[in-house]
Structure 1
Amino acid sequence: MTLELSQTIAPAEIAQKPAPATERPASDVLGRIGNLETRLARSVSEIDAAQAVRYRVFVEEMNAQLSPDAVRRKRDIDAWDMVCDHLLVLDTAIEGDAEEQIVGTYRLLRQDVAAVSGGFYSQSEFDVDALVARHPDKRFMELGRSCVLPAYRTKRTVELLWQGAWAYSLKHGVDVMFGCASFHGTVPEEHALALSFLHHNVQAKDDWSVSARPELFRVMDLMPAEGIDARKALVAMPPLVKGYLRLGATIGSGAVVDHAFNTTDVLIVLPIGQISGRYLNYYGADAGRFAS
């Protein structure tokens, strides 16, 4: 489950400000299901623990290629970590401190923060600035670096990640969520069925259209529409992509191969107003479904 990009801006290019999660009250839990809970990171040490989880998934499991320093530290880290909020899923049944309980994470970057901190991360792969510029009255939020430890890749963990993102977006008046979703591997043709289904059936249109950067653009239209078995295409989708489609998301034009993270990326676009009523009812218009 990744929302990843390979290119980064050097730390010096991003405003030097402490991470929003440096100090947070203990009452900020956004949701609970059984022994799992979701909330924002409360400290720098919890962000560090989230980076360790990301390293385990992206490098040890998915063979991402990070810098020698990141490999030495066993942390997936970049300059955006200092300006993003970090959504966590914790297993409170694990003995020890909160850092040991973190089993999943999501990185959240609001438009107002991105505007003063070097821009959106996904702009390095997709023409996000053009999309944002067409909607000056909308507030955007980027979701990225999504990952969950293998033993916790269950429906309830995904539900808690979405619960947290939904509650956060409501709190901050977000109108549009977007981010990169990844297919494993760097050969788009290996995902011809799924990518072609996305191209023919859920491509973002009109004012919501957004394209991969021209120099990185890889064709998603790899099969004719009449040759696509929709059911098989959905089975071939990464769980994160399927989850976004259920919510009502659309997909940008063109894929991007991320050699560093060993993925093929597509851009998810999800205006709040297009979220399926079924899911709004499930989680609650006030994000109260799993609220603690």
Structure 2
Amino acid sequence: MTIEILDRTGLIEQPQLRVRTSVAPAGDILGRIGTLETRLARSNSEIDAAQAVRYRVFVEEMKAKPTPDAARRKRDIDAWDVVCDHLLVLDTAIEGDAEEQIVGTYRILRQDVARRTGGFYSASEFEIESLLDRHPGKSFMELGRSCVLPDYRTKRTVELLWQGNWAYALKHGVDAMFGCGSFPGNIPEVHALALSFLHHTVAVSGEWQVSARPELFRTMDLMPAEAINTRKALSALPPLIKGYMRLGAMVGEGAVVDHAFKTTDVLIVLPINNISGRYLNYYGADATRFAS
């Protein structure tokens, strides 16, 4: 499963943030491959370092538009950072402290936390509440703000990120994951082939139905199914979205243009029961494949 992690959820903004006091304890390594390891952030300084990595990728590389304060601080920050858990990949071969070793990150928000702290960020683009209401007995978690530094966009890094996500989901009894996947640019029609392929082949249905907010809805049905070349469509998909598909994910109805990040977003929905047996066997049903 070689996929490049380059995604995010949300807008760059700088609210008045309170100090985060709940971080992971030492000794919580979720997995190791060679010199790379994955775990949750243990301190506010590590979260700050993860925000710096996000800034380098989203703003300096992808040319997202930061607020003046975010540009001054060179940090990608929003109000959800103080309530989310931050999954990190670190290269322990790099000399220095842990903050200097962070090469990749994923932001995780559990439903029980979101319920207490203002909801999920994806709800600003997609009708998440209707999805949650249909599953009152299930536990959801949102994945977002994922990125990896260019030199580390390798199979090993991706495997560790998924190892961390899977171990985290098991620990917290999560039944389904969701989050935004992004296409570059704010003109959906440029991605007509890929968006139409997703619409016709992996669209959510039934109890998992979820749509873009009506005022933001952009159609993904831009080409008839019979006109789609599957091979070319797969090649046109961003690596992250393709990786989610391989795991067994579905895609919500309608896309949303994020003008701040200059992306076209789709909602990825991945019920745990949908995860391909191939990947469950690879990582281990109890997430032991790369466990330390």
SS of the aligned residue for 1:186 comes to: coil
- Residue 27 of structure 1: how far off its partner (Å): 1.2
- Distance in 1, Cα, partners of 2:96 & 2:181: 32
Residue 107 (structure 1) aligns with: 107
The answer to whether residue 10 in structure 2 is matched with residue 5 in structure 1 is yes
1:128-167 to structure 2, matched below 5 A, reads: 128-167=128-167
Mark the runs of 5 or more structure 2 residues left unpaired by the alignment.
Answer: 1-5
1:246-265 to structure 2, matched below 5 A, reads: 246-265=246-265
- Residue 17 of structure 1: how far off its partner (Å): 7.2
- Give the number of aligned pairs: 287
Are the equivalent residues in 1 in contact too, given 2:14–2:67 (CA < 8 A)? no
Residue 43 (structure 1) aligns with: 43
- Distance in 2, Cα, partners of 1:287 & 1:269: 20
Mark the runs of 5 or more structure 1 residues left unpaired by the alignment.
Answer: none
TM-score (norm 2): 0.96
Residue 239 (structure 1) aligns with: 239
- Distance in 1, Cα, partners of 2:14 & 2:255: 21
Residue 177 (structure 1) aligns with: 177
State the AA in 1 paired with 2:49: A
Residue 3 (structure 2) aligns with: none
CA deviation digits over 1:167-209, x for unaligned, max 9?
0000000001000011111111111111000000000001101
Are the equivalent residues in 1 in contact too, given 2:59–2:65 (CA < 8 A)? yes
SS of the aligned residue for 2:117 comes to: coil
- Residue 11 of structure 1: how far off its partner (Å): 5.1
The answer to whether residue 23 in structure 2 is matched with residue 18 in structure 1 is no
- Distance in 2, Cα, partners of 1:7 & 1:25: 28
State the AA in 1 paired with 2:200: H
Are the equivalent residues in 2 in contact too, given 1:90–1:102 (CA < 8 A)? yes
State the AA in 2 paired with 1:81: D
Residue 67 (structure 1) aligns with: 67
State the AA in 1 paired with 2:201: N
Are the equivalent residues in 2 in contact too, given 1:256–1:266 (CA < 8 A)? yes
Judged with a 3 Å threshold, the aligned counterparts in structure 2 of structure 1 residues 17 and 98 are, in CA distance, closer, same or farther, namely: closer
CA deviation digits over 1:14-48, x for unaligned, max 9?
xx673532xx3321010011111100000000000
- Residue 218 of structure 1: how far off its partner (Å): 0.5
Judged with a 3 Å threshold, the aligned counterparts in structure 2 of structure 1 residues 115 and 220 are, in CA distance, closer, same or farther, namely: same
CA deviation digits over 1:227-247, x for unaligned, max 9?
111111111111110110000
SS of the aligned residue for 1:106 comes to: strand
Q: What percent identity do the matched residue pairs reach?
A: 75
- The RMSD of aligned alpha carbons is 1.4
1:116-131 to structure 2, matched below 5 A, reads: 116-131=116-131
- Distance in 2, Cα, partners of 1:117 & 1:264: 27
Judged with a 3 Å threshold, the aligned counterparts in structure 2 of structure 1 residues 152 and 9 are, in CA distance, closer, same or farther, namely: closer
Are the equivalent residues in 1 in contact too, given 2:32–2:160 (CA < 8 A)? yes
- Distance in 1, Cα, partners of 2:21 & 2:187: 36
TM-score (norm 1): 0.96
